[in-house]
Amino acid sequence: MISIDQILYETFTNDSALMALLPGSVHSTWSTEGEYPRLIFDASMTSLNNEIQGGSLTIDVFGKGNNKVILEAIRTRVEYLLESQFFATDETGPTLRFWKRNHDTVPDDSPQIIHLIIQYDIRAARIRPS
């Protein structure tokens, strides 16, 4: 069964341009391991009704130092990979879409760390059993 986490992980890690910017790696669970910058994503889906599923995706990108240029390049690449495309899971078929809600750089506990948050809304139609 293909899950939304698998789709996101494969979309990010199979893109050589994104991975060139992310030597720290991609994680689907919270991680403090690895180099910087690193990308951590968290997706959740809920049923809106019998026909539609909705959800949210939060992407946290952590960088070191005060160089926001790399984080902006990562943000731009993530947007390119997710927007204006349909993705497919076993439950939704090829109807899964991401719409960016917002992005912002936020203060981190450590002054040496830059923290970029990107938030998306998710919508998908359910596949009816045959």
Residue 18: predicted pLDDT: 95
Determine the average pLDDT of the residues in 112-124: 91
CA distances to 49, 51, 66, 112, 130 from 8, rounded to whole Å, are 24, 23, 27, 28, 27
Percentage of residues in the chain having pLDDT higher than 90: 45
Q: How confident is residue 12, by pLDDT bands cut at 50, 70 and 90?
A: very high
Structure tokens at 60: 């946290």
- Say which CATH superfamily domain 4-125 falls into: Phage minor tail protein U (3.30.70.1700)
Which one has a higher pLDDT value, 107 or 126? 107
List the beta bridge partners of residue 99.
Answer: 121
Determine the average pLDDT of the residues in 117-127: 86
Q: What's the pTM value of the predicted model, to 2 decimals?
A: 0.87
What residues contact residue 20 under an 8 Å CB cut-off, 6+ apart?
none
Domain residue ranges of the chain, discontinuous segments joined by +:
4-125
Determine the average pLDDT of the residues in 8-36: 88
Q: State pLDDT tens for residues 64-106.
A: 887 788 999 999 999 999 987 888 877 667 788 998 999 998 8
Q: State pLDDT tens for residues 101-115.
A: 999 988 777 888 899
Residue 95: predicted pLDDT: 81
**pLDDT, mean over the chain:** 86
